[in-house]
């Protein structure tokens, strides 16, 4: 088979990518070796999504002969990616002895998050379960990248060791940061709320695992796409910790942009002559709906668990806090009107810290979207993953990379 | 070959599409018949892009045997899509007698444009040359769709007859309109500057040609992509006639959105409490940079060739007109800052009527983008196609559809 004329163009900067933000994105080469690798991936996806399955069921689902599937399955079992369930185990298939499942003791993905107020690491297995986790609270604002990443490395080693004790072997490390990341998937170009710029995280993190660094909102958007079965395939994901992040998903793929900076919703102008912003602009969304702006508008000091404080006060009926959150919701509505006009998505999804504040943000946000739309209003929903989204998205990106090209594990590539 | 796991998902609303906005977008089926059709397309593209070529040269370029290519070429000659140049004709290949070229007398695309102040139709052959053209000036504002499309139909018949006299046969009709078009590619959902809404153009246009209706800015963006060899593969195209239109191209594909409404840059809020807009919102870009807003700001009456009037007065140094155009450029800069933050494109391209006003819009637009960007500023360029872009994009979309699936012509499908 030959690809249609447009598809054999080489991918360029700015292209949309599949699945995992960096590694699983590439299309495997159109050779016999590439075909084998694609078929290994199809077996893994079939078993992951519909398993346990017999070899015959896998063959019929992916349209290959049973003999071909058996060869692929044997290879996946040898690499520790699939396992055969014992005959005593009940399953959906006729002959339980032959049922295949994704291994719960094979490779795992290590996800890590550098938050402004915390560090977090987790390990997710091929079945999608979180198997180990570590968190450290405390501000990272204004701290140099060296000491922060030394602490993060200690947490990563702790989680990796714990996952190894569970019989897992870490296949890669993905790190979520609250800032812009270059397309090399290592360099933080600008993370104003940490105070980092042009920082290559590679030398500061464990060098025994393949590394991917990405923006926290991108990982949050991917987590929504991968872990929420009801997620649309076209949406704008808005998340927040201190800043406001965004991710644009089009046709089930993350839109990255030429430099990898797409989705910067926080710096969409809301009022052109508004307050100066760290980005160099004025009146950006972050100046109205960022955590500090909301705290300031509510007359609160920015200390401790800020989102928790806002949610608590709002729940208690604090009028100043509720007014501040209404203002933030209105500003979100203005910026999202622009995004909806440009992208025409199926939905807007609020994630990250915003999901905890949604009850007080949503009414003003939805009112603003509605009063600015002549046609049907874009649906707004709240992510069920909440603040865990970016961390889970990071760990799952490693898992997706393994499922999308299983040959990279076990030396079979 | 089997597609990688993610690619066999069915395309959904909101998906990105290749080439022609509606018809060439679909991927041909993965069967032997589909393979033959893809190979016919690859032969056409090779000859179009690099021809004249011998059969052997085509075979080496697309990686098929010479025998296979000969069979495909014979079919394309029978269908009138390719022609053999005579031996007397000089060419780049060793044996001039065998050189193949895209036919200058085969199928052609008919493009039509419903402008607020004009109607235009043209025929473009497979080589990309305009072979017939007709224009009627006069306002269509507030006129019912029936009489307008009767006039357009007369122009279409005139251009079709002229192209037939030239030995061409119209393969399809594509119509550009200044409004939102449903994903059925026939129904104008809303064209406020014409006063049309929920209007199916199908019954009002010639029924002997396959029909595609699309937004004028989308066709303008596609024309830029197809006809400007230096065009980036990721850009935001801004065009204007009375309203402000936009098209978003990502990785060489037009972003359509869930309902087909993506790219509505004209309704991105610039000042949230600004003047009420026809879209239901307030302070939209169109209220600052639309033609009428600029005429009003310059103290001019909206009559006759308005863009021509503004360009003439600005060139004469009229201070009010220049100030009004600076204001429009500033508003464009604010709205495009939002678009650049969301999409991170390689470039912004000004097309349509805006290209004639670019000398006076660009300085303020670029200053605004620069002062709102911390990093490198997105490049802004002016389309060389100018106001012809949408009409050419429409005609070329039909030509692209033929090149992308030549079997649809000549009964070979």
What pLDDT sits at residue B240?
Answer: 79
Structure tokens at B25: 């977008």
Angle at which helix A32-50 crosses helix A66-78, to 10 degrees, equals: 80
Residue B29: pLDDT band with limits 50, 70, 90? low
Which residues in chain B touch residue A371, judged by CB atoms under 8 angstroms apart? Answer: 280-281
pLDDT, average across residues B345-350: 95
pLDDT at B262 over 70: yes
How do strand B235-240 and strand B180-181 relate by DSSP bridges?
Answer: unpaired
pLDDT, average across residues B375-402: 92
pLDDT at A279 over 90: no
Instruction: Compare A116 and A221 and report the one with higher pLDDT.
Output: A221
Claim to verify: residue A19 and residue A81 sit in the same structural domain: yes
What pLDDT sits at residue A10?
Answer: 32
pLDDT, average across residues A353-377: 89
Distance from CA of A141 to the nearest CA of B (A): 20
Shortest CA distance from A267: residue in chain B: B341
Q: Is B7 among the domain residues?
A: no
pLDDT, average across residues B286-300: 92
Q: Is B410 among the domain residues?
A: no
What pLDDT sits at residue A11?
Answer: 32
From first CA to last CA, the distance across chain A in angstroms is 22
What pLDDT sits at residue A32?
Answer: 76
Instruction: Compare B62 and B278 and report the one with higher pLDDT.
Output: B62
Q: Is B19 among the domain residues?
A: no
Residue A92: pLDDT band with limits 50, 70, 90? low
- Which residues, in sequence order, are bridge partners of residue B136? B119
Q: Is B8 among the domain residues?
A: no
Claim to verify: residue B378 and residue B298 sit in the same structural domain: yes
Instruction: Find the domain containing A49 and state its range.
Output: 5-105
At which residue do the structure tokens 């119509």 appear? B175
Last residue of a domain, one of B68, B103, B138: B103
Q: Cα–Cα distance between B132 and B168 in angstroms, integer?
A: 10
What pLDDT sits at residue B95?
Answer: 46
Residue B87: pLDDT band with limits 50, 70, 90? low
Supply the ipTM of this predicted assembly.
0.86
Q: Are B309 and B117 spatial neighbours (Cβ–Cβ below 8 Å)?
A: no
- At B302 the three-state DSSP class reads coil
Q: Cα–Cα distance between A290 and A297 in angstroms, integer?
A: 11
pLDDT at B144 over 50: yes
Which range is least confidently modeled, B37-46, B279-288, B325-334, B373-382? B373-382
Instruction: Compare B92 and B39 and report the one with higher pLDDT.
Output: B39
pLDDT tens column, A228-264? 988 899 999 998 777 899 999 999 999 999 999 999 9
Q: Cα–Cα distance between B76 and B41 in angstroms, integer?
A: 10
Substitution target in B344, B370, B376 with the highest count of A β-carbons within 10 Å is B344
Q: What is the domain-level CATH number for residue B38?
A: 1.10.10.10
Q: What is the domain-level CATH number for residue B177?
A: 3.30.420.40
pLDDT at B182 over 80: yes
Instruction: Compare A322 and B14 and report the one with higher pLDDT.
Output: A322
Contact A342 B345 (CB under 8 A): no
Claim to verify: residue A66 and residue A18 sit in the same structural domain: yes
Residues of chain A above pLDDT 70, percent: 87
User: Cα dist. B413→A7, A56, A378, B35, B211 in Å?
Assistant: 21, 36, 40, 12, 19
- Residue B104: how many CB atoms within 10 A of its CB? 15
pLDDT tens column, A182-214? 989 999 999 988 999 999 999 999 999 999 999
Claim to verify: residue B123 and residue B205 sit in the same structural domain: yes
**Residue in A4, A45, A272 closest to B41 by CB:** A4
Q: Is B394 among the domain residues?
A: yes
**Residue in B7, B255, B338 closest to A268 by CB:** B338
Which residues in chain B touch residue A279, judged by CB atoms under 8 angstroms apart? Answer: 372-374
Claim to verify: residue B361 and residue B397 sit in the same structural domain: no
Claim to verify: residue B193 and residue B56 sit in the same structural domain: no
Angle at which helix A319-343 crosses helix A306-315, to 10 degrees, equals: 110
Claim to verify: residue A313 and residue A363 sit in the same structural domain: yes
Cα atoms found within 13 Å of the Cα of residue B232, Cβ hemisphere only? 24
Claim to verify: residue B244 and residue B133 sit in the same structural domain: no
Q: Is B144 among the domain residues?
A: yes
Claim to verify: residue A240 and residue A213 sit in the same structural domain: no
User: Average per-residue pLDDT in chain A?
Assistant: 87
As a whole number of angstroms, the longest Cα–Cα distance in chain B is 70
Instruction: Compare B47 and A7 and report the one with higher pLDDT.
Output: B47
Structure tokens at A286: 């972050």
Contact A343 B255 (CB under 8 A): yes
Claim to verify: residue B72 and residue B165 sit in the same structural domain: no
Which range is least confidently modeled, A72-86, A119-133, B166-180, B210-224? A72-86
Residue A51: pLDDT band with limits 50, 70, 90? confident
Total domains in the fold of chain A: 3
What pLDDT sits at residue A33?
Answer: 79
Which range is least confidently modeled, A356-370, B18-32, B109-123, B202-216? B18-32
Structure-derived torsion over alpha carbons of residues A365, A370, A371, A376, reported in degrees to the nearest 10: 160
pLDDT at B364 over 90: yes
Claim to verify: residue B280 and residue B395 sit in the same structural domain: no
What pLDDT sits at residue B81?
Answer: 94
What pLDDT sits at residue A13?
Answer: 30
User: Cα dist. B393→A377, B214, B223, B252, B387 in Å?
Assistant: 30, 10, 4, 14, 11
Tally of residues, chain B: 413
Substitution target in A1, A2, A3, A4 with the highest count of B β-carbons within 10 Å is A4
What pLDDT sits at residue A17?
Answer: 36
Claim to verify: residue A157 and residue A293 sit in the same structural domain: no
Q: Is A410 among the domain residues?
A: no
Contact B375 A342 (CB under 8 A): no
Cα atoms found within 13 Å of the Cα of residue A192, Cβ hemisphere only? 14
* Nearest CA among B235, B6, B344 for reference residue A218: B344
Q: Is B330 among the domain residues?
A: yes
What pLDDT sits at residue B71?
Answer: 93
Last residue of a domain, one of B73, B103, B133: B103
pLDDT, average across residues A152-163: 98
Contact B11 A251 (CB under 8 A): yes
């Amino acid at each position: 088979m030959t690809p249609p004329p447009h598809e054999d163009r080489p991918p360029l900067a700015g292209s949309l990518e599949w699945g995992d933000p960096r590694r699983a994105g590439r299309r495997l080469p159109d050779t016999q070796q590439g075909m084998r690798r694609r078929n290994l991936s199809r077996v893994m996806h079939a078993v992951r999504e519909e398993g346990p399955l017999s070899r015959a069921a896998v063959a019929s689902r992916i349209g290959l002969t049973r003999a071909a599937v058996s060869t692929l399955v044997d290879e996946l079992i040898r690499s520790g990616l699939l396992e055969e369930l014992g005959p005593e185990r009940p399953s959906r298939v006729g002959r339980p002895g032959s049922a295949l499942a994704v291994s719960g003791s094979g490779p795992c993905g290590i996800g890590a998050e550098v938050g402004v107020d915390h560090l977090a690491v987790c390990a997710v297995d091929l079945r999608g379960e979180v198997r180990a986790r570590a968190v450290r609270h405390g501000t990272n604002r204004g701290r140099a990248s060296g000491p922060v990443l030394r602490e993060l490395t200690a947490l990563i080693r702790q989680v990796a060791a714990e996952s190894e004790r569970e019989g897992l072997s870490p296949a890669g490390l993905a790190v979520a940061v609250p800032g812009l990341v270059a397309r090399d998937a290592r360099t933080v170009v600008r993370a104003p709320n940490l105070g980092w710029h042009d920082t290559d995280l590679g030398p500061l993190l464990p060098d025994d695992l393949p590394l991917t660094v990405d923006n926290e909102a991108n990982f949050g958007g991917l987590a929504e796409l991968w872990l929420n079965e009801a997620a649309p395939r076209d949406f704008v994901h808005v998340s927040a910790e201190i800043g406001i992040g965004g991710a644009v998903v089009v046709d089930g793929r993350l839109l990255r942009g030429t430099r990898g900076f797409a989705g910067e919703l926080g710096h969409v102008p809301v009022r052109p002559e508004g307050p100066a912003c760290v980005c160099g602009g004025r009146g950006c969304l972050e100046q109205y709906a960022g955590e500090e702006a909301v705290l300031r508008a509510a007359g609160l000091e920015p200390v401790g668990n800020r989102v928790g404080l806002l949610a608590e006060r709002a729940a208690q009926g604090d009028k100043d806090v509720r007014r501040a959150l209404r203002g933030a919701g209105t500003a979100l509505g203005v910026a999202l009107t622009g995004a909806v006009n440009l992208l025409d998505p199926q939905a807007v999804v609020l994630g990250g810290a915003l999901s905890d504040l949604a009850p007080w943000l949503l009414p003003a946000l939805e009112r603003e979207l509605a009063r600015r739309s002549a046609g049907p209003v874009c649906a707004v929903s709240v992510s069920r993953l909440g603040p865990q989204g970016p961390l889970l998205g990071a760990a799952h990106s490693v898992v997706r990379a393994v499922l999308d090209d299983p040959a990279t594990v076990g030396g079979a590539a």
